[in-house]
Structure 1
Amino acid sequence: MNKRKSLTFVLLLVLVLSTILAACGSKKEEGGKGSGGDAKEKTLVYGRGADSVKLDPSAVTDGESLGVTKNIMETLINFGEGSTELVPGLAEKWETSKDGLTYTFELQKGVKFHDGSDFNAEAVVKNFDRWMNGNAESNPYFQSMFGGFKGEKNAVIKEVKADGDDQVVMTLNHAQAPFLKNLAMTPFAIASPTAFEKDAKGFEKNPVGTGPFKFVEWKRNDAITLEKNKDYWQKGLPKVDKLIFRSIPDNSARLNALTSGDIDIADGINPSDAASIEGNADLQLFKRPSLNVGYLGLTVTRKPFDDKKVRQAVNHAIDKKAIVEAFFEGQAEVAKNAMPPVIQGFNDEITDYEYDPEKAKKLLKESNYDGKEIELWAMPVPRPYMPDGQKIAEAIQKNLEDIGMKSKIVNYEWGTYLEKASKGEADAFLLGWTGDNGDADNFLYTLLDEDNIGSNNYTYFKNDKTHKILKQAQIEVDEDKRAALYKEAQEILHEEAPWVPLAYSTPLLAGNKNIKGFNPHPTGSDRFDTVEVE
């Protein structure tokens, strides 16, 4: 081969290899970086600390499941941007009877589910029939928010009927003050009856709604991929073509993925990383409005926490101020009640249990504590209300050791952790709650009332006085009187001490500078239909 032919061959070989490498690089970016790939397709990648449990919002209580389904399915009523103010959703308007027992909803017209079936009054009725005929295991939120299921004595909803194609009438057994706020919660999003009637069990892995994004694929413990609903009823939305929820359990690794451009938004930012993010011109820091509480739950049906004095001793034993300073670094305040101060009815007159190991030891001596080691369950994933469950558990373990209570830290995979804790299998467990609707009922009744044992009341705490107060607060329409009732309930809960409230946090997120229109919602479930990737 002469030199000219040899040179020509080499140049052609280089050109071919360059083309192949460029194509490979393009594929990598299209599947990962939001700013890369085909310029005509915009992808938004959201990095989070854990995978979803199920994608049927009515069947779960965890935020990672609800955060995904928020973008697939829609509720009759929405919350406003950055608030819990009620605004139209799949219902364009609604009316309430004077006695508070009848609600009439006018539905949006011309809306289709992702499978092409019609959204109409019949579809709404079928969703409610599905929930009302369920149970605490299959529909935990329904029990928590609506008192019980069809035919049960505490059930709030009596009947849901269609009045033509575009009107739904709901009749209640008794008035419920937060009824509309409850309907706006993500677990009560309207799903395609065609889909869940065809495959009830499979629906949790292949959800179908009317939302801005359609489900595409779920790779367990890796990524959930959604695509733009091109027939979405709200014109001009969503702004991106593909939405990917990527699971990256370690907070630092998630931030590194953001910095390298592999993801566009990172949830669960360590408070210690806030300053470096704010100082990085390529990134932006987001603060989610605080509507949460992180706590240590003490299961009252298990020894030694069946003794109130033991529970009070643990409250005195834990140095909450040190925990908040060490692990939240200025992005939280010490908690003293089971709901955050921003909720109407918060009792600020309650004096918190002071950190006093000697008082804790005295209470233990007066109690029936037998000195046996307890299990202390540490959350395996970062959550908005608890950035590092393992380290916080270790700090609590040392506090308990100082008063003579030995503990063994126990870990489970997130879905297993929630399932076992909900069955009352933990002695003491770390957990938390982000408010769903901005109402005190969503904290005190949902988490600590006997009606919700086995669903969201993991401590199995029950008290006749608080039960009576919380049920009365549900039907009281005067907001000042409701607030007074919730303050009274908090006094009893403080005395009975089924929890050690730890922190009210301001959750941090970060994003690339090219992200526009992202406003973290206080409920923790974000819609990404208005977010742009520039």
Structure 2
Amino acid sequence: MVARYVAGGTGTGGRLHRLSPSRSNCRPCARRASPAAVITLLTIRNQGVTLPGSAASSLRYREVTMGTIKHGLAAVALAASIAAGAAAQAKELVVAIETDIRGFEAIQGRVLGIAASTVMNAVADRLIQRDANGDIEPQLATAWEASADGKTYTYTLRKGVKFHNGDDFTARDVAEHWNRLLDPANKYFGRLFFSPIQKVVADGDHTVTFQLAHPWIPMERLHAGVNFGTYVPSSRAVAEETMMREPVGTGAFMLSEWRSGDRLIVDRNPNYWDKDKISLDRVVFRIIPDQATRYAALQAGEVDMIWTDRGDTILKAKEEGETIVHERVGQGAIINFMNTARPPFDNVDARRAVQHAWDQGVYLKVSFKDTVPAVEHPLGASSTCDAGYRGPDRDKAKAFAAKYEAAAGKPIAFEMIHTSTQRGRESGEIMQQLNKRAGITVNLQPVDQLQLRQKVFTNNYDMSGWRIADAQDVGPQLFALLHSKSPYNLTKYNNPAMDDLLVKMRTAATGEARAEAMCNVVRLMNDEVPIQYRGGRKHYTIVGADIDGLRPLYQGVPDVRYITKN
């Protein structure tokens, strides 16, 4: 008779799992142990014991010969001892991310994508954050209040907090960080999104005040968002210009290694102010650009978690049931820009024709396998806004196209730039096919991501894909994208009525007034179509069956801090 056991190491709490004679492995047993852990397989056959041992990436076999069952029991005890030692070793989580990180300094890094945000969230803290239920909870701030006129927000900061370099965390760090981003001379990319903030003042070591030009509803939850502004860096690291590649925060983990194009490794911060909530000792972020390779690594137990937006992978994971799929619908939208500064989209009839020719349902079925919802506005599923969306209607598309041709003396034709990725090609080809049915010509121009951004920012395009990022409040993005004086108005849309609505939205004194103004903004945008929706925002992360404690995917970002491995 053959009895097989696997000591599960960090992935299984060090327990011995008995395998049936008909199976050589099982899902818990296949989970990858941490580099320090040893997975031991004990096979007892007649009078002999074979004890293969594996550590990290190698598998070594040791033969133990015994004359009596007593020796066999001793070997079993040895295996159990090794397993117990494995459980005591560092608990490591391996996360597969899609791209390398540009850097962690706000002005140079410009934008935090999903991958960078996942790492940043581990090494730096915010003043407040959302808990597992979506409610605001204290982090670096322990209390906060707004003035009666809504123009001043005062935060009381947590005492005794240290940066990774040993420096004390104080109000000066918060004030210097924000004033640096607010300074027009520094040309911070995201400044426009929080421009109602005029100045940040430190009052002693543990009180900081944000002074606003006018009441601004998003300020109530601003610091719980995921962006460069909300994470507080070490003032010394910023001054020494090391923050870009050597981030220093107050977070639960500290960067210990960064191999560009390969991986980032963060180790547990032993001095973390909230360390009792942290179970992991190390998180390894492996950079695996290819989605299929990421999922295969998860199935093989080489990684514990992956982020994905590929519908086939999501559906396969749900069907197989060996992993856990976490998902969350957010605000924002996947969009197309129409450049209103040059033909044909300087004519609203051309934009309306292309809008009615478009069908989100077709695109989402082909490209996302219906794992992303269609949307009529970017305000999120909880919004009740009647947005006046122009849905697919071939007859209307042809009517607006004919109206444009009568005025312009030629039919609608335009170029769409798209990334040369599979999804980019799908987007372009579907756009081309749907418009062809309405008599509209679409020429496709594949470019790399850098070229696409350059063309959009220099206004050298007709149509291009983009996104309205998931956020707690998309109003600041709408203002930036649509106000005629905004440097981030990348469609060059210009309508005084829209400018007035945007100002009303920004300066609204109550949440109800802001929601109404925002709905009016979206209704006018949908009518004149400088921006076209390709789909909503729905985020997915797939984890191994032994992973617990992952919080909801706020703004699509997996939060590794509170994860436990069972």
Question: Which residue in 2 is equivalent to 1:109?
Answer: 159
Deviation per CA, 1:439-469: give whole Å up to 9, x if none: 2414422433345433xx4323333222221
TM-score norm. by structure 2 comes to 0.78
Question: Which residue in 2 is equivalent to 1:399?
Answer: 434
Question: Which residue in 2 is equivalent to 1:75?
Answer: 126
Q: What is the rounded CA distance, in whole Å, between the counterparts of 1:191 and 1:399 in structure 2? A: 48
Question: Which residue in 1 is equivalent to 2:482?
Answer: 448
Question: Which residue in 1 is equivalent to 2:202?
Answer: 162
Question: Which residue in 1 is equivalent to 2:235?
Answer: 193
Q: 2:316 aligns with which of 259, 266, 276?
A: 276
CA contact (8 A) 1:291 1:504 kept: yes
The reply to whether residue 25 of structure 1 matches residue 58 of structure 2 is yes
Q: What is the rounded CA distance, in whole Å, between the counterparts of 2:531 and 2:219 in structure 1? A: 27
Question: Which residue in 1 is equivalent to 2:117?
Answer: 66
CA contact (8 A) 2:252 2:275 kept: no
Q: 1:436 aligns with which of 459, 471, 493?
A: 471
CA contact (8 A) 2:96 2:285 kept: yes
Deviation per CA, 1:219-246: give whole Å up to 9, x if none: 3333232222121111224321222223
Q: What is the rounded CA distance, in whole Å, between the counterparts of 1:88 and 1:68 in structure 2? A: 20
Residue type of the alignment partner of 2:543: G
Residue type of the alignment partner of 2:239: E
What is the 5 A alignment of 1:419-498?
Answer: 419-437=454-472, 439-450=473-484, 452-454=486-488, 457-498=489-530
Residue type of the alignment partner of 1:86: I
Q: What is the rounded CA distance, in whole Å, between the counterparts of 2:223 and 2:407 in structure 1? A: 44
Question: Which residue in 2 is equivalent to 1:15?
Answer: none
What is the 5 A alignment of 1:259-270?
Answer: 259-270=299-310
Shift of residue 421 of structure 1? Answer: 2.9
CA contact (8 A) 1:214 1:228 kept: yes
Shift of residue 308 of structure 1? Answer: 1.9
% identity of equivalent residues: 22
Specify whether residues 297 and 500 from structure 1 end up closer, same or farther in structure 2 by C-alpha distance, changes over 3 A only.
same
What is the 5 A alignment of 1:292-307?
Answer: 292-307=332-347
Q: What is the rounded CA distance, in whole Å, between the counterparts of 1:39 and 1:373 in structure 2? A: 66
CA contact (8 A) 2:401 2:412 kept: no
Shift of residue 293 of structure 1? Answer: 1.0
Deviation per CA, 1:106-161: give whole Å up to 9, x if none: 000011111111110111111122111145x84222212x22xxxxxxxx223322
Specify whether residues 488 and 470 from structure 1 end up closer, same or farther in structure 2 by C-alpha distance, changes over 3 A only.
same
The structure, 1 or 2, with the larger RCO (C-alpha pairs under 8 Å, 6+ apart) is: 1
Q: 1:522 aligns with which of 548, 554, 557?
A: 554
Unaligned runs of 5+ in 2: 1-51, 61-84
Specify whether residues 263 and 191 from structure 1 end up closer, same or farther in structure 2 by C-alpha distance, changes over 3 A only.
same
Deviation per CA, 1:462-505: give whole Å up to 9, x if none: 33222221222222222222222122212211122111112124
TM-score norm. by structure 1 comes to 0.82
After alignment, is 86-95 or 327-336 more displaced? 327-336
Specify whether residues 246 and 462 from structure 1 end up closer, same or farther in structure 2 by C-alpha distance, changes over 3 A only.
farther
Whose strand fraction is larger, Structure 1's or Structure 2's? Answer: 2
Unaligned runs of 5+ in 1: 1-17, 28-35, 148-155, 383-387
CA contact (8 A) 1:54 1:60 kept: no
Q: CA RMSD in A?
A: 2.9
Specify whether residues 123 and 419 from structure 1 end up closer, same or farther in structure 2 by C-alpha distance, changes over 3 A only.
farther
Residue type of the alignment partner of 1:285: V
Q: 2:236 aligns to what SS in structure 1?
A: helix
Q: How many residues align?
A: 485
Q: 1:352 aligns with which of 356, 375, 391?
A: 391
Q: 2:243 aligns to what SS in structure 1?
A: helix
CA contact (8 A) 1:111 1:118 kept: yes
What is the 5 A alignment of 1:132-171?
Answer: 132-134=182-184, 138-144=187-193, 146-147=194-195, 156-171=196-211
CA contact (8 A) 1:292 1:435 kept: yes
CA contact (8 A) 1:373 1:408 kept: no
Q: What is the rounded CA distance, in whole Å, between the counterparts of 2:262 and 2:433 in structure 1? A: 34
